[in-house]
Amino acid sequence: MSLSVPRGQVPLDLSRTGRGGRADVTMTDQAEALAPPREGKEGELAIMGRDDEGFSPRQDSAVARFALSRANEELVLAESSLRGERRVAWVRLALMALLSVSQGGLAHVTGESLPPHDLQRVLAIVLYGLFSVLALVVLLRQRPHLRHARWLPVPTTVADTSFFAFMGWHAWARTGQFDAGMLGASMGMVLVFSVARFSWLHVLLSTALSSMGYAFVAGVSGHGTWSSTSFVVFCYVTLGLLIAMTNAEVGSMFLRLRRRDGLSRFLPKPVVERVMASGDTSLRPVQREVTILFSDIRDFTMLSETLQPREVLELLDEYFGRMTHIVMAHGGIVNKFLGDGMLACWGVPDSSEDHAEQAMRAALAMREKLAELNVLRLRRGLPPLRIGIGLHTGVVAAGMLGGAEQHEYTVIGDAVNLASRVEGLTKVHGVDILVSESTWTRGGGDFVGLRLGEAHVKGRREAVVVHALQGHALDADVESPAPVRIASGT
């Protein structure tokens, strides 16, 4: 049975399996999937224009990603609205309980006179109580949906306003007394319920119904003057305006925080701030010279066979956590975790002139951090880790890749493939960090290294000149490491 593989991707060779039938996939195999096809029409990549020039992605993919992003935001708002309505439902029940204490228990204890409990009053209280319980049950069974989030507050707001307006009117009709304080407080409570609702239309509805309910009862009873009624209504309007503005700001802040958290997972903090300020156009596809770093753990396949899956995950989490911090601290982005390997790059999405130098500094910092990590591992009785790091500078295409359901910011180009090949040469030369000639030329002035000469790598006709990176030029104690052969584990 044959499997068709899209051009530019490398099929997974299932014939190379380790113990237990696991596929033995190397960093180079995965890097080749990121490299563009070498065949094809001349100038196939030239549609991107000159270096550092943006080019337009496929319109349907961009539109789909925008639509999905919008749908995700609407789902978040729908979930927030549903949780808000549930809180209102619980508060409504608590309010009913407190009102029964206030108008029942306290009134009897203090001997206050209350409106008689006629059929209308009792029926209104019972119906509103049943409505409060039913609303809570429905909301607890409800699933987040944007359409439901828009109309669910409408019947509850109408019911709340109608109940308190009726109770105020009924008390006046039976006793001839108009209690402006209780009516104003109850209508204000209906307006306060809109704090838990995300749409300004819901706040507008609550404000309008509260104002009309108070004005109606005050007008029918003949106890509300134009000045006193308008004062209460204007207070409602002011409170509603403040609630609407606050809700809008809180909702926007939540979406920004969610977006910032997502961007912070793969972009340095300064880049995140710029993307947040200027929008997704900052991540538009570009063709640019960057420096690529590939690293992987030596003999990881052999090591993982002695560990439980959970222990392998903990090992990688501890290792990648430290290395990711180093990459981002030096202005780079971690593009992918490839099993036990890591792909990082400098020069995108923000262009920088010192991308090669920063990448080399990061590689040296990774060496130092690994030494610290190995000290901790030896104290725990665990074997030390050894890694190989390869760096190469070249032109890549960088941008968002993927469909609407899943996409990522990535780099594609022959430079990615060559960086992986350079990392593979660390096993041949017995060193932990190798940089290509292009990277050494761009950033080697501040570093000490050893030119190891030319080497031929798989898939390239031209030989690759590599340098063993030893340290910073200012470090007087840097000595050329002995060419100890490193086992070529995966």
Q: What is the pLDDT of residues 266-321, one digit of tens each?
A: 666 666 777 777 766 666 788 999 999 999 999 999 999 999 999 999 999 999 99
For residue 281, the model assigns a pLDDT of 66
For residue 267, the model assigns a pLDDT of 66
Among 161-165, 181-185, 236-240, 399-403, the least confident range: 399-403
For residue 223, the model assigns a pLDDT of 77
Are 74 and 146 a contacting pair, CB within 8 Å? yes
Is 107's pLDDT higher than 80? no
For residue 406, the model assigns a pLDDT of 64
Record the pTM. 0.57
Q: Is 29 helix (H, G, I), strand (E, B) or coil?
A: helix
For residue 345, the model assigns a pLDDT of 93
Distance CA(220)–CA(240), nearest Å, equals: 24
Residues 6+ apart with CB under 8 A from 45: 36, 287, 397
Are 88 and 140 a contacting pair, CB within 8 Å? no
For residue 16, the model assigns a pLDDT of 36
Q: Which helix (H) or strand (E) holds 428?
A: helix 414-429
Average pLDDT over residues 351-368: 94
Find out whether the peptide bond into 11 is cis, omega within 30 degrees of 0: no
31-74 pLDDT, tens digit per residue, is 444 444 443 333 333 334 444 444 444 445 544 555 556 677 67
How far apart, in Å, are the Cα atoms of 299 and each of 26, 303, 305, 448? 11, 6, 10, 28
How, if at all, do strands 387-402 and 433-436 pair?
Answer: parallel
Is 100's pLDDT higher than 50? yes
Question: Could you tell me the pLDDT band of residue 264, with boundaries at 50, 70 and 90?
Answer: confident
Distance CA(292)–CA(332), nearest Å, equals: 10
DSSP line for 135-158: HHHHHHHPPP-HHHHHHTHHHHHH
% of the chain surpassing 90 pLDDT = 39
More confident residue, 364 or 202: 364
How far apart, in Å, are the Cα atoms of 460 and each of 25, 39, 358, 422, 457? 20, 13, 27, 12, 6
Question: Could you tell me the pLDDT band of residue 346, with boundaries at 50, 70 and 90?
Answer: very high
Question: Could you tell me the pLDDT band of residue 478, with boundaries at 50, 70 and 90?
Answer: very low
Residue ranges in 298-354 assigned as alpha helix (H): 300-304, 309-329
Among 227-241, 387-401, 452-466, the least confident range: 452-466
Q: Which helix (H) or strand (E) holds 349?
A: none
Distance CA(175)–CA(178), nearest Å, equals: 8
Which residues face 401 on adjacent strands? 408
For residue 430, the model assigns a pLDDT of 92
Distance CA(443)–CA(363), nearest Å, equals: 12
Average pLDDT over residues 138-158: 86
For residue 272, the model assigns a pLDDT of 74
Are 413 and 395 a contacting pair, CB within 8 Å? yes
Which tokens sit at 370? 């690994």
Highest mean pLDDT among 24-28, 29-33, 187-191: 187-191
Q: Is 54 helix (H, G, I), strand (E, B) or coil?
A: strand
Question: Could you tell me the pLDDT band of residue 405, with boundaries at 50, 70 and 90?
Answer: low
150-188 pLDDT, tens digit per residue, is 888 899 999 999 999 998 888 888 877 778 888 888 899
Highest mean pLDDT among 20-34, 48-62, 254-268: 254-268
Question: Could you tell me the pLDDT band of residue 390, with boundaries at 50, 70 and 90?
Answer: very high
Mean pLDDT computed over every residue of the chain: 79
Amino acid at 186: S
Among 335-349, 371-385, 450-464, the least confident range: 450-464
Q: Which helix (H) or strand (E) holds 347?
A: none
Average pLDDT over residues 440-464: 86
For residue 102, the model assigns a pLDDT of 77
Burial label for 98, CB within 10 Å (0-12, 13-18, 19+), is exposed
For residue 265, the model assigns a pLDDT of 67
- Output phi, psi for 26, to 5 deg: -90, 170
For residue 111, the model assigns a pLDDT of 66
For residue 35, the model assigns a pLDDT of 45
Residues 6+ apart with CB under 8 A from 86: 136, 139, 140
Distance CA(434)–CA(423), nearest Å, equals: 7
Nearest to 217 by CA among 167, 175, 158: 167
Distance CA(31)–CA(228), nearest Å, equals: 75
For residue 70, the model assigns a pLDDT of 66
Using alpha carbons only, give the angle 302, 304, 310 rounded to the nearest 5 degrees: 175
Among 141-145, 375-379, 417-421, the least confident range: 141-145
